[in-house]
């Protein structure tokens, strides 16, 4: 008996979200499911070698074996490093406090 599992593949751009539902054989890896889903044809700019992948927000590798009802998420690179943004905000706050004493 060939058992199958249901999965979803999601990829979000600022102006468009793609959600594909697929039925794949049990034992399918993330990489195989992404190939079978058609997401790479729909978004040819995707590079699985450099894209980070996750299942429900938890990072995974492309050779991970899927389970029923898994949702594969393809993450885009960050535009700005959150740590750097916080550091800059903190520096600006310190400058404002030091200079705000004369009123």
So what's the pLDDT on residue 52? Answer: 93
Q: Where are the chain's structural domains?
A: 4-78
For residue 94, pLDDT beyond 70? no
pLDDT single digits (tens) 15-39: 999 999 999 999 999 999 999 999 9
* Residue with the larger pLDDT of the pair 81 and 8: 8
Distance of CA 49 to the CA centre of its chain: 13
For residue 82, pLDDT beyond 60? yes
Confidence of residue 95 (pLDDT cuts 50, 70, 90): low
The answer regarding whether domain 4-78 maps to CATH 3.10.20.30 reads yes
For residue 84, pLDDT beyond 90? no
Whole-number mean pLDDT of the chain? 87
d(CA 11, CA 78): 14
Tell me which H or E stretch contains 40.
Answer: helix 39-42
The stretches of 44-99 forming alpha helices (DSSP H) are: 82-99
Q: Give the HSE-up count for residue 71: Cα atoms under 13 Å, Cβ half-sphere.
A: 10
Q: What is the pTM of this model?
A: 0.74
Residues 53, 75: contact at Cβ < 8 Å?
Answer: yes
Q: Which residue bears the tokens 């429900």?
A: 56
Sign of the alpha-carbon torsion through 78, 80, 83, 86: negative
């Amino acid at each position: 008996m060939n058992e199958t599992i249901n999965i979803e593949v999601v990829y979000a751009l600022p102006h468009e979200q793609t959600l594909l539902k697929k039925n794949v054989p049990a034992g399918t890896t993330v990489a195989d499911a992404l190939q079978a889903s058609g997401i790479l044809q729909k978004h040819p700019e995707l590079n699985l070698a450099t894209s980070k992948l996750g299942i429900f927000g938890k990072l995974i590798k492309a050779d991970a074996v899927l389970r029923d009802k898994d949702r594969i998420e393809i993450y885009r690179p960050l535009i700005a490093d959150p740590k750097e943004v916080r550091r800059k905000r903190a520096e600006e706050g310190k400058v404002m406090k030091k200079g705000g004493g004369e009123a």
